[in-house]
Structure 1
């Protein structure tokens, strides 16, 4: 059930327009696995008015300083979505403002939402993190050393990342296994478990593992087992030939910082690694569902989020699709960042403050600075309550 949303008068600073929604949403608690989180309107926005005002100012400042066309930010505290607001332009040429309905590329946050599929299959006894990947993807070439699902998911398997402009691919891949051909024949960078090297291609392989373990098409599994149960109805794969309502335009900063259109790309080679579009509100729903047992058991959450350790005992700061982020006040957040052609994202869960923060922009740029600034403001507000 969707909440009634009440738009406010647009706010403008320079070329930045903001369209605000301040009718917060309440998340149901104690939901059984596979059950959507119900939403209902509440009227507590005034309790957060000072924090929202400070956060708006911080967002606008960073956008102006960095020439960011459009941004969308959401904050959840406890069971409530206390702030969700769009800033600037979803489409500059058409003069379309960003609203909380605007869909942005979430980039590598796609890895985090895909991690839930891994957890579900683990709990069903269909996937073993410490099995070799060929257990689920028999056609993937064996390397000098065996590689496990856990190692691939934690970026310690030695699978390479992009080379050159590979992330500007314009090729449409019909399925996840066809996308493996980009890197499948390449040697590993190091012996698995001995080093950390971030690899979106590794998560291409993870999507094939999920298909092999579940016997289900990867995108169908994500829709039916993750997005629908969590009410994430704005999160979809970005098929280039599909009409996707509220999809934003994608931009980059050209010569002298001028905003120009980002080049065309087709992300069908990397759905799990960075191919989904969505909204900050959906990421708040997702984050709230992972702050305690619900769609996944607590033991599973702990295993997915715990940073991995290399053979020499060094922590990587990265689990199974979840990164750890030390905060200024000494607390630890978990989540993920996402960099895309024409988009940047940061998604954080801050357990100590029972808070989730997510922000997206439609240019390569300072989404992390925006989200961290907003998180600090709301952390202070939570401590003062």
Structure 2
């Protein structure tokens, strides 16, 4: 299928904007993403907004500025803002136990703090069964039965001991916001955030709701050769955790409003994005409703949802990037640092490996997969980029395997092993590619090397046994 950008102002685009568009189109083709929106905010202004591909495969409807995308769990960022709005008004204390605000909770739940709910360190049982993805309890579509069932389960850890992503936390936060905010959660978000920021078309809904201009959501077939519709189900009682539909333009309005003091005072925004800690002082992966992107410089906080939509804010750099797509598993968050690198040269030097992988992939498509290391060295010299990350190469190699291109996958995994020789996963991946290509002896060699590096690699043990090489 064709993945083309809506041509809006292509003739007026800067070289960097053309390079960004080429990168996005290439990644859409590689990841098989049908439709996508992109927006970049710099110093409080939207400096780039583009639409790509199709909002509906069935009806061949292109993505436009009006197209709405599910942001899934990125909704939690709005919940974090809502809590901080009530903190700012003196109606919530982040350190207070949830039992101070909500009555009737199990005794073991009552000491969990508001912060521990926001950063997923509560230790509470999950209302979503992690194995099935369905609500817990005997009736997987009954919200009341699920909420009763989860409260009967034992806690999984003391509050603050460890991080574990958990939907129960945000069910409780919705109840907290409703009680302290004096209105239903969805109404609170509408009146206190959507209306203030200028988001008239954004709202809550799933597959049961009629949402005007909603881009259809898809997932790839297991063989990667076709698409299936995603039937989105965001129960009303869980909508503090997922359920917003929006577009890149209106999300940009929200981020500008958030950073310009219209939703929160600057000190409250700083607290919202401040890293949190576990009981032992180690950093938790989340701030208050926002995942933190940990690294030495150019820190970022994020909203990430459903493997299909994401936004990063770089607070110290005056930059934000939004990418929304309609493919579950498309992982657009993996593209954001590369886009940001066009505006932050130092970030490109630090995190430009994904762009190096993109350029190498294009070079391999035109000049073959022989000598990938030499091709990569030339790309790095020309563009001043770091090596691709091990994960970038691994993902590329597995996409090639999924397309029944084992020889090309071998070449990519060989490069990964050359760059990261102590990576057990890289040797395991290379072994899989050799096995798919019929080179059983080479496969066994790299399965053994993977086991040397990671004695707990049960996959390598199983494959060596299957190859008769254990």
- Please give the TM-score of this superposition, normalised by the length of structure 1: 0.81
Q: 2:288: which partner in 1?
A: 320
Choose 1 or 2 for highest CA Rg: 2
* 1:292, distance to aligned residue in structure 2 (A): 4.8
CA contact (8 A) 1:22 1:84 kept: no
Find 1:65's aligned residue among 5, 8, 30: 30
Task: Show the 5 A alignment for 1:248-287.
Answer: 248-268=215-235, 269-287=237-255
Find 2:333's aligned residue among 364, 368, 375: 368
* 1:238, distance to aligned residue in structure 2 (A): 0.9
Find 2:4's aligned residue among 12, 17, 39: 17
* 1:74, distance to aligned residue in structure 2 (A): 0.7
Structure 2 residue 296 is matched with structure 1 residue 332: no
CA distance in 2, matches of 1:273, 1:21: 34
CA distance in 2, matches of 1:382, 1:338: 24
CA contact (8 A) 2:37 2:51 kept: yes
Greater than 3 Å deviation, 4+ residue runs: 20-23, 167-173, 177-182, 239-242, 380-383
* 1:132, distance to aligned residue in structure 2 (A): 1.9
Q: 1:219: which partner in 2?
A: 186
CA contact (8 A) 2:196 2:262 kept: no
Structure 2 residue 97 is matched with structure 1 residue 132: yes
* 1:310, distance to aligned residue in structure 2 (A): 1.2
CA contact (8 A) 2:51 2:63 kept: yes
CA distance in 1, matches of 2:181, 2:88: 12
* 1:99, distance to aligned residue in structure 2 (A): 1.5
SS in 2 for 1:356: strand
Task: Show the 5 A alignment for 1:164-243.
Answer: 164-167=131-134, 171=141, 180-181=147-148, 183-243=150-210
CA contact (8 A) 2:197 2:262 kept: no
SS in 1 for 2:197: coil
CA distance in 1, matches of 2:241, 2:119: 12
- In structure 2, do the counterparts of structure 1 residues 265 and 295 end up closer, same or farther at CA, with 3 Å as the change threshold? closer
CA contact (8 A) 1:21 1:100 kept: no
CA distance in 1, matches of 2:14, 2:273: 33
- In structure 2, do the counterparts of structure 1 residues 354 and 305 end up closer, same or farther at CA, with 3 Å as the change threshold? same
CA contact (8 A) 1:172 1:266 kept: no
